[in-house]
């Protein structure tokens, strides 16, 4: 992934379609755009709120697209994205960049880029991470797929909505990055449920455990702490990460084994712990760690 920068002319209007839970605070950040903001949503309340704050309320997607050089889209489904794109294609001027923030199916962005190109438009898929709180604060992570020219055309507006705006590669790569990020998110939630069942069976205060997890993750960085390498290839003996991850594997193998013993004793099913015990070494890039993880002795937490 590479990070680049670009600024859309200040007199270009920005449009925002889809003023839901995350779209509305994203659009509110764009009120600071010097060229002005135009908004559209089928629900009248968020439109009225943005209009009162200084945005122009469009009568349709086509009305919005006809006067905006950047058109941001934050609707719910693939079909809704296609519908919005269809209206934009018939109304937007040449050079307009369409920015789809919705999390859509991985095959759709290249098709939308192709459609945009046939109408002399630019396209990026730019899903976001950070939720409504990040949208309100303007601190979203925005993962962008598209050409350098399309990214440059969208970059200025994106910078008002996010503090981590990353060009991930060609169209579709923004969506791929978002799907990978959320895979980690929701698999972790599933593992959290497993950990909570184990803790509950042991008589642990689950609210207190939650405080402990949030506290320690804020110090260690959680899963992101191991995400500094630019490849998933196995580590070599001279790689600086090798000794670090061997230590992680030693601790992890020991602690997972103890957790599985406790789960067996309490009658709690922990399939994710079992899977992690077998595949942790592989996940860390330690070739030859084998099923069951490390045999390193003497590790301490």
The helix/strand/coil state of 145 is: strand
State pTM to two decimals: 0.87
Q: What CATH number is attached to the domain comprising 103?
A: 3.40.50.720
What are the tens digits of pLDDT across the range 89-143?
999 999 999 999 999 999 999 999 999 999 999 999 999 999 999 999 999 999 9
Q: How many distinct structural domains can be found in the chain?
A: 2
Asked whether residue 115 falls in the same domain as residue 253, the answer is no
Q: Is the pLDDT of residue 296 over 90?
A: no
Closest CA to 145 of 129, 122, 168: 168
Closest CA to 86 of 103, 73, 69, 67: 73
Closest CA to 73 of 138, 19, 122, 139: 19
* Residue 157 included in any domain: yes
pLDDT at 10: 60
Q: Is the pLDDT of residue 299 over 60?
A: no
Asked whether residue 159 falls in the same domain as residue 268, the answer is no
pLDDT at 236: 86
Asked whether residue 234 falls in the same domain as residue 276, the answer is yes
The helix/strand/coil state of 123 is: strand
In this prediction, residue 237 has a pLDDT band, given cuts at 50, 70 and 90, of confident
The helix/strand/coil state of 61 is: helix
- Kindly report the backbone phi and psi dihedral angles of residue 40, in degrees, each rounded to the nearest multiple of 5, phi listed first: -150, 140
Chain CA centroid to CA 24, Å = 18
**CA angle (69, 75, 80) in 5-degree steps:** 95
Asked whether residue 159 falls in the same domain as residue 213, the answer is no
Asked whether residue 143 falls in the same domain as residue 195, the answer is no
What are the tens digits of pLDDT across the range 206-230?
999 999 999 999 999 989 999 998 9
Alpha helices, DSSP H, located in 221-270: 240-266
Asked whether residue 254 falls in the same domain as residue 111, the answer is no
* Residue 45 included in any domain: yes
Asked whether residue 110 falls in the same domain as residue 226, the answer is no
pLDDT at 289: 60
Domain that holds residue 239: 191-283
Asked whether residue 37 falls in the same domain as residue 133, the answer is yes
* Residue 299 included in any domain: no
Asked whether residue 21 falls in the same domain as residue 131, the answer is yes
Contact residues for 164 (Cβ-Cβ < 8 A; gap 6+): 139, 140, 141, 142
Asked whether residue 161 falls in the same domain as residue 121, the answer is yes
Q: One of 178, 198, 268, 281 is an active-site residue; which one? A: 178
8-state DSSP, 2: B
* Residue 51 included in any domain: yes
Closest CA to 232 of 278, 185, 284: 284
Chain CA centroid to CA 110, Å = 19
52 is catalytic: no
């Amino acid at each position: 992934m590479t990070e680049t920068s670009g600024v859309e002319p200040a007199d270009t209007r920005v449009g925002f379609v889809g003023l839901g839970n995350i779209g509305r605070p994203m659009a509110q950040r764009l009120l600071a755009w010097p060229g002005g903001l135009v908004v559209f949503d089928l629900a009248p309340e968020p439109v009225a709120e943005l209009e009162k704050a200084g945005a122009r309320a469009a009568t349709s997607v086509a009305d919005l697209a006809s006067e905006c050089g950047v058109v941001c889209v934050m609707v719910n489904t693939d079909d809704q994205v296609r519908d919005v794109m269809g209206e934009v294609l018939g109304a937007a001027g040449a050079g307009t960049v369409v920015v789809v923030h919705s999390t859509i199916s991985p095959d759709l962005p290249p098709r939308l880029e192709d459609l945009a190109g046939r109408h002399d438009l630019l396209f990026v898929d730019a899903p976001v991470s950070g939720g409504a709180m990040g949208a309100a604060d303007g601190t979203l992570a925005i993962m962008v797929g598209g050409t350098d020219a399309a990214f440059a055309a969208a970059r200025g507006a994106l910078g008002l909505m996010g503090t981590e705006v990353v060009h991930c590669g060609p169209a579709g790569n923004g969506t791929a990055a978002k799907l990978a990020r959320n895979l980690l998110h929701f698999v972790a939630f599933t593992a959290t449920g497993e950990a909570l069942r184990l803790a509950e069976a042991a008589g642990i205060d689950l609210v207190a455990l939650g405080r402990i997890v949030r506290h320690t993750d804020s110090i260690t960085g959680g899963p992101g702490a191991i995400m500094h390498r630019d490849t998933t290839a196995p580590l070599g003996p001279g790689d600086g990460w090798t000794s670090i991850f061997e230590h992680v594997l030693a601790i992890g193998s020991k602690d997972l084994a103890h957790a599985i013993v406790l789960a067996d004793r309490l009658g709690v099913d922990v399939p994710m712990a079992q899977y992690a015990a077998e595949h942790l070494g592989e996940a860390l890039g330690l070739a030859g760690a084998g099923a069951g993880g490390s045999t390193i002795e003497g590790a301490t937490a």
